[in-house]
Structure 1
Amino acid sequence: MEPASSYQQILQYSNRADPYPLYAELRKTPVARQEDGSYVVSTYEEIVALLHDPRVSSTAGQLPSFISTDPPEHDRLRRLAMRHFGPPHSPRKVDSLRGELLQIVTELIDGLGNREQADIVDDFAYPFPVTVICRLLGVPLEDEPRFHQWADELVEALGPGEDDLVERVKRRQAVLLTLGEYLAGLIDAHRENPGDNLLSGMITDEGPDGTMSQHEVIATGTLLLIAGHETTVNLITNGMLTMLRNPWLLDRLRKEPDLAIHTIEELLRYEPPVHFLPNRVALDDIPIAGVTIPKGAHIILALASGSRDPAHLRDPDHFDPDRPYIQHLGFGGGVHHCFGAPLARLEAQIALRELARRLVNPRLVTDPPPYRPSSTLRGPRHLEVQYDGVNPYSELPAT
């Protein structure tokens, strides 16, 4: 039996805590054909080229939404969703949430005050973004725990190489069916009584692109649940882990709250929540880096590897929020650049700034922490932290 390739080793759970040395090996062959005929692309320049290449299709994606469609249909659905979430029609939507986000974070940290140890994942990083995305979608407060469970189950069924493919597909389809039935009922309720939320907007809007069908609204709602929740959980948790491993960063964030902006950008490069974009397909032969990816082949873009490519930036394995050039693949790129990037950035900035400022002498209980199964959406499953109390909340100047 031949030894496992660098890519196959990255998928193994035993390497989840630190896959980065394996990414360095992977980059020695920027475009590597795998035994199953797929091609893994691991260097920054080549990943960026393919993210913008119209010969690469996203229709083999694993979630039924505009993220798994190609232009022009992708563009129509994305515009319809963006009308209620961002520019040009709702340019201040995300920034208007700043006060509400801070309130949610404050309440969660207040809840840690009578304890000496907390799991940053279960006690903070999970409930924060799921509360936000449920409020944005118009999900009743009492149903938020169900969304948490569905999101968790869907994410663990995504991505290459984890568990048995047939079994993962069955689990994913079962959760999608249950979630779709719930969203259908919720859409009917919002159609009868529209409110100030994304679901109401998508089902009542009659803009220049027409209206979304019920199926399209369900698919978009499902996407926003996953993209708006799971990736932010990982970004916050990876960020807290990085701060605890670098106490100087905690100290600087306490003294320089605006540093949170650059810290999040460097985290998106250094410890990104999304490591792979799997299931792209070549629509034609694509010559790249001395290799021709044949028409019909599956392409896997190793985003986390590209963001640490030494050909792209100096000293990539060093965490530096003062880096003058922080350009990363943390939100993908091209037409599929992350729809929720502005919200994820703001959530993570507020979360890490407040954790750094209010937890007194926080320290890791276990390092490395236990990781979740997925190699695609990589992050700790638990992050146990001890601390000596919680500083009282006090209003900070707007950043």
Structure 2
Amino acid sequence: MTQTQGSLVRQITDYAHRADPYPIYAELRKTPVVHDEGGPYIVSTYWEIHGLLHDPRLSSDARNLDPRAASELPEEDDGPGLPPSFLRLDPPEHDRLRRLATAPFGPPHTPRRLHEMRGELTRIVGELIDGFEGRNRIDLVDHFSYPFPVTVICRLLGVPREDEPRFHAWADTLAASLDPGPDADGAERRRITRRARTELATYLSELIEERRRAPGDDMLSALVGGAGPEGRMSRVELLSTAALLLVAGHETTVNLITNGMLTLLRNPDVLARLRKDPHLVVPLVEELLRFDPPVQMLPRRTPLSEIDIAGVTIPQGASVWLLLASGNRDPQRFPDPDRFDPQRRDNQHLGFGSGVHSCFGAPLARLEAQIALTELARRLDEPRLLEDPPTYRRNPVLRGPRHLPLAFEGLRPGRSADRPANGSPDGSRNGSPNGSR
């Protein structure tokens, strides 16, 4: 099926639909694969998306995209001096870099790294919530969802505490580049973004050299010193991977936590259940990833050869958009998909993608969201939304509120320093250390 040129792309990316894109997705699912004439092929149903995510013929490397394939999304830019991150590469290059990046991040090589971060994550969350003392109104994004994950990334990489404010400033700039306002000066925005990327690359390069001379127990030291059958990362590969952790890992987690709190406040019965039973948080976060995922779509995929799917032939070099958020609401896969049900069974959602490009930071994002939402539910007394729907970011791919103003009556006491989150002796009762389903 072919639509008028640009019509579907305009609907999907139109800011007027950002607060609730799901009715558009429901219409799209009536025809699983639609070609926006002169533009991308848009795939909106669960099984077709899942199949393509596991199809080696579908490339993530933009160099395979036919330059004549139109796209109405701004070009992505890794910045001066940085090669594409492994997210935008295909096997075997992707597989080699992903294995090297994963080795110091989690299982099977370092299965306890995230588990051992649980106490630190809980402390960071507690300190941020303590900062609400004396207020009865906050912006959850500015005061909590935004600073939390960037602080975590700094601690994970081993950024010295005194340098964390610089990382926050770079994260602010890079986030703004992904979410420009309607009246933004494009040339000025690109200049500021490139300067921030250059400063970040320079800082990371210096930090890498420091870790070569004096390694610590942080992830960057492990990446620098790691050597196996595939060797180790080059300097530019290290820079690209570290920048990926900062930008990609940070942005998705901000949206996951903010979308999660918004959903809980719209479902006060679930919020009350979570406050009474923190064990609910594990399936609750999985349902959030299905119901309102932080990454709405994967654009700019391209077939390396013709692909026949759902009665449509997608030609080599075409632009393909995979609407993950639409697949997550597909009634052919999930019963009653528009209902938020934290105890939903068989919840194999697409919130972190699937296949070889599934989000390698998913275990950390899950753990951050579990701890953040548990503590917000426990400590905020009578929280309520001050604006619904809130103001959303303009980015149609990384979807979430730009601001989430909340009011509350006060704060409940924090945890003692020696009492871990979620009530268990080692803080791990709410799921496996790696956040797996």
| TM-score, length basis structure 2 | 0.86
Shift of 1:176: 3.2
- Preserved CA contact (<8 Å) 1:62 1:158: no
**Residue 303 (structure 1) aligned with residue 324 (structure 2):** yes
- Preserved CA contact (<8 Å) 1:156 1:373: no
Residue aligning to 1:83:
103
Identity %: 60
Shift of 1:3: 9.3
Residue aligning to 2:348:
327
**Residue 352 (structure 1) aligned with residue 373 (structure 2):** yes
Task: Return the alpha-carbon distance in structure 2 between the equivalents of residues 180 and 113 of structure 1.
Answer: 37
1:128 to 131, 134, 148: 148
Residue aligning to 1:146:
166
Residue aligning to 1:25:
27
Task: Return the alpha-carbon distance in structure 2 between the equivalents of residues 356 and 375 of structure 1.
Answer: 28
CA deviations over 1:15-53 (Å, ceiling 9, x no partner): 111111111112122111123332111111011111011
Task: Return the alpha-carbon distance in structure 1 between the equivalents of residues 264 and 175 of structure 2.
Answer: 25
Shift of 1:169: 6.9
Task: Return the alpha-carbon distance in structure 1 between the equivalents of residues 50 and 179 of structure 2.
Answer: 20
Task: Return the alpha-carbon distance in structure 2 between the equivalents of residues 163 and 290 of structure 1.
Answer: 42
Task: Return the alpha-carbon distance in structure 2 between the equivalents of residues 241 and 319 of structure 1.
Answer: 12
CA deviations over 1:116-136 (Å, ceiling 9, x no partner): 111111111111111111111
CA deviations over 1:201-247 (Å, ceiling 9, x no partner): 11111222101100000000011112221100100000000011111
CA deviations over 1:263-303 (Å, ceiling 9, x no partner): 10000000100001111111000101111110011111111
Residue aligning to 1:279:
300
The aligned amino acid for 1:298 is: S
- Preserved CA contact (<8 Å) 1:85 1:93: yes
- Preserved CA contact (<8 Å) 2:139 2:406: yes
- Preserved CA contact (<8 Å) 1:284 1:295: yes
- Preserved CA contact (<8 Å) 1:152 1:230: no
The aligned amino acid for 2:16 is: S
2:42 to 36, 40, 43: 40
Structural mapping, 1:237-276, within 5 Å: 237-276=258-297
Task: Return the alpha-carbon distance in structure 1 between the equivalents of residues 229 and 185 of structure 2.
Answer: 41
Task: Return the alpha-carbon distance in structure 1 between the equivalents of residues 104 and 25 of structure 2.
Answer: 38
- Preserved CA contact (<8 Å) 1:62 1:68: no
Cα root mean square deviation, aligned: 2.3
Shift of 1:90: 0.2
Residue aligning to 1:370:
391
Task: Return the alpha-carbon distance in structure 2 between the equivalents of residues 72 and 138 of structure 1.
Answer: 29
The aligned amino acid for 2:27 is: E
The aligned amino acid for 1:369 is: P
**Residue 111 (structure 1) aligned with residue 131 (structure 2):** yes
| TM-score, length basis structure 1 | 0.94
1:235 to 256, 281, 293: 256
- Preserved CA contact (<8 Å) 2:104 2:110: yes
Task: Return the alpha-carbon distance in structure 2 between the equivalents of residues 3 and 281 of structure 1.
Answer: 19
> 186-195 or 340-349: which moved more?
186-195
Cα distance change, pair 234–171 in 1 and its aligned pair in 2 (3 A): same
Cα distance change, pair 157–111 in 1 and its aligned pair in 2 (3 A): closer
> 27-36 or 371-380: which moved more?
27-36
2:60 to 53, 58, 61: 58
Residue aligning to 1:202:
223
Shift of 1:112: 0.8
- Preserved CA contact (<8 Å) 2:179 2:393: no
Tell me, which stretches of 5 or more residues in structure 1 are unaligned?
none
- Preserved CA contact (<8 Å) 1:155 1:377: no
Cα distance change, pair 173–302 in 1 and its aligned pair in 2 (3 A): farther
The aligned amino acid for 2:107 is: P
Task: Return the alpha-carbon distance in structure 1 between the equivalents of residues 199 and 118 of structure 2.
Answer: 32
> 21-30 or 176-185: which moved more?
176-185
Question: Residue 34 of structure 2: SS of its match in structure 1?
Answer: strand
Shift of 1:154: 3.2
- Preserved CA contact (<8 Å) 2:5 2:36: no
Task: Return the alpha-carbon distance in structure 2 between the equivalents of residues 387 and 333 of structure 1.
Answer: 38
CA deviations over 1:178-205 (Å, ceiling 9, x no partner): 3222211221222222111121111111
Residue aligning to 1:386:
407
Cα distance change, pair 278–155 in 1 and its aligned pair in 2 (3 A): farther
Task: Return the alpha-carbon distance in structure 1 between the equivalents of residues 215 and 5 of structure 2.
Answer: 58
